[in-house]
């Protein structure tokens, strides 16, 4: 059985589309034309950012209530 990892993400509506970033993974950000597309894109980019790493090398996920928004 594979283990699942969960990272909180931040969605920011833009004039056109939605930007999204993952605070726990430096450089992990993307965008989509809709919220649904942004969700698909961020799942893909998280996989790409963690690809080739061992699970013990994955960044520790923050608790959502501990994330500080700018």
Q: In terms of DSSP bridges, do strands 29-32 and 10-13 run parallel, antiparallel, or are they unpaired?
A: unpaired
List the chain pLDDT tens, one digit each, 70 residues.
Answer: 678 889 999 999 999 999 999 999 999 999 999 999 999 999 999 999 999 999 999 999 998 888 877 6
CB 41 within 8 A of CB 30: yes
User: Which of 46, 51, 8, 11 has its CA nearest to residue 32?
Assistant: 11
- Residue 57, classified by CB atoms within 10 Å of its CB into exposed (0-12), middle (13-18) or buried (19+), is exposed
pLDDT of 56 reads 92
Element (H, E) at 18: strand 18-21
Element (H, E) at 45: helix 35-50
Residue boundaries of the structural domains of the chain:
16-48
């Amino acid at each position: 059985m594979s283990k699942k990892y969960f990272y909180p993400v931040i969605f920011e509506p833009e004039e056109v589309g939605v930007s999204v970033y993952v605070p726990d993974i430096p450089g992990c950000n993307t965008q989509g034309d809709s919220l649904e597309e942004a969700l698909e894109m961020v799942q893909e980019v998280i996989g790409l950012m963690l690809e080739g790493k061992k699970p013990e090398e994955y960044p520790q996920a923050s608790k959502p209530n501990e994330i500080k928004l700018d």
